[in-house]
Structure 1
Amino acid sequence: MSRIVIPAIVNATGATADVYAEVKKMAGGAVPNVFAALGHLVPDALSAVLNAEGVLANGSLSKQDLETIKLVVSEQTGCDYCVAAHVMLGKMTGLSSQVLTEIRQGASTGDDKRDALVKFVLLLQKTSGTIADADFAAIRGAGYSEVQLAEISLTIALTIFTNTFNRINDTYIDMPRVK
């Protein structure tokens, strides 16, 4: 059970009910526990997350790239809820269980562009300050555009937000757990 008690979704009213309806439309009728909690507490924050996710969905990064970034960040922050979510969503984008494990471990996936993305996201998560010119050149050399670098940044920021909230809430995992 999560630390923050959430009333039944069917009893939601006002802005919370509105944002839950938006989530249900996007998620095939379900409201994941993290979104239930955020929508109950700060519906505008959940709406902002959904809007930003929409920007990314319409952006230039592939769904596999987005799930790769989210999984790397979630693994680094130790958010078991988000690791489970992004393993499940990664599989839905066509990433194999083996590749998802390799992403989580920071190991080679056999795809040079994906490996460069994992390395870059890990660099951003494990260091501070401006990245070195060589690191910028490496991610650009792997084929990522300047627009995609901005999208990578937004993806990392959104993932850190949900990771942090889930770590505070100890959000109950409502999907298949991963080891």
Structure 2
Amino acid sequence: MTVTTATLAPIQPEDATGVAKDLLAQVQKGLGRVPNMTKVMANSPALLKSYLVLSAAVGSGTLPAAVRDRLAIATAQLNGCEYCLSAHTYIGSNVSKVTADELDSARRSDSTNPHVAALLTLSSAIAENAGDVAEDAIAKAREAGVTDQEIGELVANLALNVLTNYFNVLARVENDWPVVAL
């Protein structure tokens, strides 16, 4: 994503009012900072609240953070979202402790771990085909140990990742993460 002129202006936490102010304070408390994406999402408190609730919900699932970060990287690469690619590469490396090789492989929906590779491959197939995935793709994922619960969580993660990808691309959010080029 090449940033030109932002489509939506960020709302600084100190300038926010009402629900937006409360939500940005929640982000600050949870992350210790307020990323640009959430500042821009604050233009629509309904959007920011939806993002926070969905993010918390997928975070409470069975897929570990290291897998969720790789799923986010694969989806960001697919959707051309440099902001999310950069954010999840940084978080994957520094918080989830995923190796640089694994983070790079995630951009191609791949992993040296067969189970993670199956999750990434199936997630990308779901995204690329709007959910209309061939039965053999699901069978291959199951052969690698992917459970029905994980398949459901893939869809939830995709919903979250597509939400943030599309929003960041549309709003031309200024990237405040160490940039990882598409």
Task: Give unpaired runs (5+ residues) of structure 2.
Answer: none
Q: Deviations over 1:154-176 (max 9, x none)?
A: 11011111111111111100010
Residue 35 of structure 1 aligns to which amino acid in structure 2?
Answer: T
Identity percentage over the alignment? 24
Cα separation, 2, equivalents of 1:51 and 1:5: 23
**Which residue of 22, 25, 32 maps to 1:21?**
25
Change (3 A) 1:104 1:129: closer
Q: TM-score under structure 2 normalisation? A: 0.90
Change (3 A) 1:106 1:59: closer
- Correspondence list, 1:32-111, <5 A: 32-39=35-42, 41-91=43-93, 92-107=95-110, 109-111=111-113
Residue 51 of structure 1 aligns to which amino acid in structure 2?
Answer: V
Determine the structure 2 residue equivalent to 1:8. Answer: 12
Cα separation, 2, equivalents of 1:86 and 1:105: 15
1:61 match: secondary structure: coil
Cα separation, 2, equivalents of 1:158 and 1:63: 14
Cα separation, 1, equivalents of 2:58 and 2:36: 22
Segment of structure 1 superposing worse, 164-173 or 115-124: 115-124
Segment of structure 1 superposing worse, 120-129 or 66-75: 120-129
**What is the total number of aligned residue pairs between the two structures?**
176
Change (3 A) 1:141 1:7: same
Q: Deviations over 1:32-69 (max 9, x none)?
A: 11111111x11122112111111111111111111111
Change (3 A) 1:63 1:3: same
Deviation of 1:3 (Å): 3.1
Cα separation, 1, equivalents of 2:10 and 2:87: 20
Task: Give unpaired runs (5+ residues) of structure 1.
Answer: none
2:61 match: secondary structure: coil
Deviation of 1:114 (Å): 1.2
Contact 2:11–2:39 (CA<8 Å) still a contact in 1? no
Q: TM-score under structure 1 normalisation? A: 0.91
Deviation of 1:128 (Å): 4.3
Residue 37 of structure 1 aligns to which amino acid in structure 2?
Answer: V
Deviation of 1:7 (Å): 3.7
Deviation of 1:141 (Å): 2.2
Deviation of 1:72 (Å): 0.6
Deviation of 1:98 (Å): 1.3
Residue 147 of structure 2 aligns to which amino acid in structure 1?
Answer: S
